[in-house]
Chains A and B, each alone.
Chain A
Amino acid sequence: MINIKVNGKAYQLAVDPSTPILWVLRDTLGLMGTKFGCGVAQCGACTVHLDGEGIRSCISPVSRAAGKEITTIEGLDVKLGKPLEQAWIQEDVPQCGYCQSGQIMAAAILLRDNPNPTDQDIDDGMSGNLCRCGTYQRIRKAIHVAAKLRT
């Protein structure tokens, strides 16, 4: 049995402890907002927060989350999430949209730690998140917009 908290809810799970968090979220808990893109920590589509730290859930065994709290796109704190959502809509960021929950989860950490990032800070913070549709320019802009919305 593994005890974890996801988006504020406590769970006791009987799963193989080596199962990546990603598949526990998707297959066991039915939380489909966290995406599978590569499975090898290359794309960031699976980004979630583990005790407030951005992690690649596809390579993190659920045992790592024992006794800890996971936050997914479904449970992102409004204070962090709202300005990002608004900015994403305003800048028409998503194309196919598949990478975007990972992008938002990464951007949320970036803005929390650096409320007023430069382009360079954004590039540094976001380069782990791939977007095959090529929405990078709009993500950059939207992060600046979200930074303003937060103040």
Chain B
Amino acid sequence: MKEINHINRRQFIKTGSAVGGGLLLSFYLPAFGKAIKTAVNNAPASFIPNAFIRIGADDIITIICNHSEMGQGAYTSVPMMVAEELDADWSKIRFESAPVDPVYNHLGFGMQATGGSSSTLSEYDRLRNAGATARAMLIAAAAQTWKVDPSACKTENGKVINKVSGKSLLYSELVEKASLINAPKLVQLKDPKDFNIIGKPIKRLDTPEKINGTGIFGLDVKVAGLLTALIARPPVFGGKVKSFNADKAKAIPGVKHVVEIERGIAVVADGFWPAKLGREALEIVWDEGALKDLDSITQRKQYAALAKEPGVSARKEGDVAASMAGAVKKIDATYELPYLAHAPMEPLNCVADVKVDSCEIWVGTQFQTMEFMNAVQITGLKPEQVKVHTTLLGGGFGRRGVLDCHFVREAVQVSKAINAPVKVIWTREDDIQGGYYRPAAHHVINAGIDASGMPLFWQQQIVCQSFAVGTVMEAMMVKDGVDSTAVEGAADMAYNVPNLKVNWNMAPGGVPTLWWRSVGHSGNAFVTETFIDALAHAAGKDPYQYRLALLEKHLRHKRVLVMAAEKSNWGKPLPAGRARGIAIHESFGSYVAHVAEVSIPKPGTIKVHKVVSVIDCGPVVNPETIRAQIEGCVVFGLTAALYGEISFEKGRVKQRNFYDYKILRMNEMPQVEVHIVPSTEKMGGVGEPGVPPVAPAVANALFLLTGRRIRKLPFAKEDLVKKV
């Protein structure tokens, strides 16, 4: 089956400018169309067929990556998609991060952004088209040279080959000629069976720079005259500076400026250390604001009370009230899920250099367009005077894509105030206590099974904050009064339950919350997947078979589940003291099942020996990236299950650093075995879908050892005691 794609140039330009709103000037105009030949900075002459490709006369092919590299492998998978259709020599491929320009907008989000596990799936068509277009132009150039019909030419490994004469020309030799050729409107994409690059475990292009100390993360950016700033932010969310005295701070050698900005007081010094000492020496009186008494214990009670209110309907099937009487067994459960911090390994930071007539920003961001627009707004400069450079991101997980762009705004404000380039650095404490957490949640479920043991009714009340309501994302994320991220994975549960009701009550705001790797699914899957397990046990059925029966019509779920059972030897004996738990969940268009093998070495401790993971994400671009992402998801999910909790007392976050906001360590790492379902179904994401089923798979295994259902995260010591 061959795809014929029609590239509609108008469409591209239109999509491009819709969100930029005419604000942005195209740097590489246009996305597709007539090629541009350039000699930038004495670089060799190049053929630039479109915004994503630059072929140099030196034979180097540079792919301009419009998705940030934050560990998910975008700097490899993006080039792979282009190189495949370009028939490039992979060893000649280099990558470069894209500037801010509407041509690089995410086709789904309408702005330049990385997230939603979508870097590969959102670009699969556009980037292959970009490669195929360039290839067609190179063929046309060669055909002209040889005075033959393009159909007499083929391409292979960075060369155009004359099928008749056997002669060949390197792409680099065609740079001049190809630049004069108009891009074709129609290009033919390869039949997947002819792929040489896509689907192969290609090694990451960026590994060398990430292991030899040369890779540039935001924190590593150097600019002449760069100063370092640390910011004293309110100890309570929503607080404000009432008054401050900077005398002692200014007395610290190396401290250059103390300035008040939107969110606090910045201490600017000639390095991190004096800035830190200066910040400690600040004397600030805070107006702590409305959340000054915030306390997690009280908040939990509040949420429990809210769960009794009807809320807004997110899903309704059948008639729960009428069906209740027919249940032979009923189960009620209450779940409590904490706030979670993303804690990317590289603390947040941003370099800004604001001058009278320009502003340059270097930042590891998931949200280029938004950062750009905020910088334009703060500086009052013209859009073409503002530049955003995307560095490597030392982890993102959602934290580097913030609607209010606070960590970029701070840097721009400080640089503007002191009239010098500045790097704002967050300490780990600033990060852990800095908010933008996965929202805490409270769920109440009542369900009943019928005489055959199958679920008859399921009624679920979800309480949590919304980070969409009242923001620019509201139109996209909130439907009929329901924030889709609050109920995703619960309201759209795949299990067949004839009478089903899922309602949402929005909890009061104040604590800044945000998408956290797998967003609403992260908590909701824990609830649905441990609760369905409980129903299976109540029905006296095997939890794997029970799920399978309830997913009758969901073929992709079923395939993943069956493979997980098979690969994990489900039902086969285990060494004494071990138990297996299973969970499956769909998110971001992909289907993941985990089977966890768990034991309790000592009361109050847990050992996760092995996790067998199966994913169906549709067509595979790089299987090694998928495996790595699933391994990472297992660690991320386990970390949250075992340790993750942000809590409040007297308005303040109690956790501070990795000693009380723990991250899984090497000695706790289970063996993770990843299997990818061969699939030609719709492509899904891989960065997040592995997270949601981790905690429930482990909790379901623990239940077999302890006889106790875990309904509060993280696991407590009492949850880890073997039954007698």
Scan A1-31; emit 1 where CB is below 8 A from any B CB, else 0.
0000000000000001001100100111011
* Contact call A98/B212, Cβ cutoff below 8 A: no
- Is A124 on the interface with B (CB-CB < 8 A)? yes
How close is B313's CB to chain A, nearest CB, in angstroms? 37
Q: Residue of A at shortest CB range from B69?
A: A96
B residues near A129, Cβ cutoff 8 Å: 666
Scan A116-151; emit 1 where CB is below 8 A from any B CB, else 0.
000000111011111111111111100000000000
Residue from B228, B395, B634, B659 within 8 A of A96 (CB atoms): B395
- The answer to whether A32 and B273 touch (CB under 8 A), given A72-B213, A94-B207, is no
Scan B517-528; emit 1 where CB is below 8 A from any A CB, else 0.
000000000000
- Is B658 on the interface with A (CB-CB < 8 A)? yes
Residue from B206, B395, B631 within 8 A of A132 (CB atoms): B395
A36 to B275, CA, bound (A): 15
A55 to B346, CA, bound (A): 19
A99 to B395, CA, bound (A): 10
How close is B20's CB to chain A, nearest CB, in angstroms? 28
* Contact call A97/B206, Cβ cutoff below 8 A: yes
Scan B192-203; emit 1 where CB is below 8 A from any A CB, else 0.
000000000101
- The answer to whether A96 and B273 touch (CB under 8 A), given A38-B658, A40-B658, A136-B635, is no
B residues near A131, Cβ cutoff 8 Å: 345, 635
- Is A92 on the interface with B (CB-CB < 8 A)? yes
A99 to B664, CA, bound (A): 14
How close is A130's CB to chain B, nearest CB, in angstroms? 5
Scan A35-54; emit 1 where CB is below 8 A from any B CB, else 0.
11111101101000000000
Q: Residue of B at shortest CB range from A85?
A: B211
A residues near B636, Cβ cutoff 8 Å: 132, 134
Scan A58-78; emit 1 where CB is below 8 A from any B CB, else 0.
000000000000001110000
How close is A128's CB to chain B, nearest CB, in angstroms? 8
Identify which of B216-224, B537-545, B590-598 touches chain A: B216-224
- Interface of chain B residues 357 through 385 with chain A (CB within 8 A): none
A41 to B208, CA, bound (A): 26
- Is A57 on the interface with B (CB-CB < 8 A)? no
* Contact call A89/B217, Cβ cutoff below 8 A: no
- Interface of chain A residues 85 through 105 with chain B (CB within 8 A): 85, 88-90, 92-101, 104
- The answer to whether A33 and B672 touch (CB under 8 A), given A23-B271, A124-B667, is no
B residues near A122, Cβ cutoff 8 Å: 666
How close is A50's CB to chain B, nearest CB, in angstroms? 17
Interface size on A, residues (CB 8 A): 58
- Interface of chain B residues 69 through 87 with chain A (CB within 8 A): 69-73
* Contact call B203/A89, Cβ cutoff below 8 A: yes
Interface size on B, residues (CB 8 A): 65
- The answer to whether A34 and B273 touch (CB under 8 A), given A133-B71, A136-B635, is no
Q: Residue of A at shortest CB range from B215?
A: A97
Q: Residue of A at shortest CB range from B72?
A: A95
* Contact call B658/A33, Cβ cutoff below 8 A: no
How close is B620's CB to chain A, nearest CB, in angstroms? 15
- Interface of chain B residues 251 through 302 with chain A (CB within 8 A): 253-254, 270-274
A101 to B663, CA, bound (A): 18
Residue from A39, A96, A104, A134 within 8 A of B211 (CB atoms): A104
A140 to B670, CA, bound (A): 11
Residue from B253, B346, B635 within 8 A of A98 (CB atoms): B346
* Contact call A45/B345, Cβ cutoff below 8 A: yes
- The answer to whether A96 and B628 touch (CB under 8 A), given A38-B428, A85-B208, is no
* Contact call A139/B71, Cβ cutoff below 8 A: no
Q: Residue of B at shortest CB range from A132?
A: B345
- Is B393 on the interface with A (CB-CB < 8 A)? yes
A90 to B343, CA, bound (A): 28
* Contact call A100/B210, Cβ cutoff below 8 A: yes
A residues near B270, Cβ cutoff 8 Å: 27
A132 to B394, CA, bound (A): 9
* Contact call B271/A135, Cβ cutoff below 8 A: no
B residues near A72, Cβ cutoff 8 Å: 213
B residues near A35, Cβ cutoff 8 Å: 217, 219, 345-346, 394
- Is B657 on the interface with A (CB-CB < 8 A)? yes
* Contact call A74/B393, Cβ cutoff below 8 A: no
A20 to B272, CA, bound (A): 10
- Is B204 on the interface with A (CB-CB < 8 A)? yes
How close is B397's CB to chain A, nearest CB, in angstroms? 8
Most buried by B among A73, A92, A122, A123: A92
- Is B665 on the interface with A (CB-CB < 8 A)? yes
B residues near A39, Cβ cutoff 8 Å: 427-428, 657
* Contact call A137/B671, Cβ cutoff below 8 A: yes
* Contact call A100/B211, Cβ cutoff below 8 A: yes
B residues near A88, Cβ cutoff 8 Å: 207, 211
* Contact call B667/A130, Cβ cutoff below 8 A: no
A residues near B346, Cβ cutoff 8 Å: 35, 37, 96, 98
How close is A57's CB to chain B, nearest CB, in angstroms? 12
A76 to B642, CA, bound (A): 36
- Is B450 on the interface with A (CB-CB < 8 A)? no
Binding site for A on B (CB under 8 A): 69-73, 201, 203-204, 206-217, 219-220, 222, 228, 253-254, 270-274, 343-347, 392-397, 425, 427-428, 624, 628-629, 631-636, 657-659, 663-667, 669, 671-672
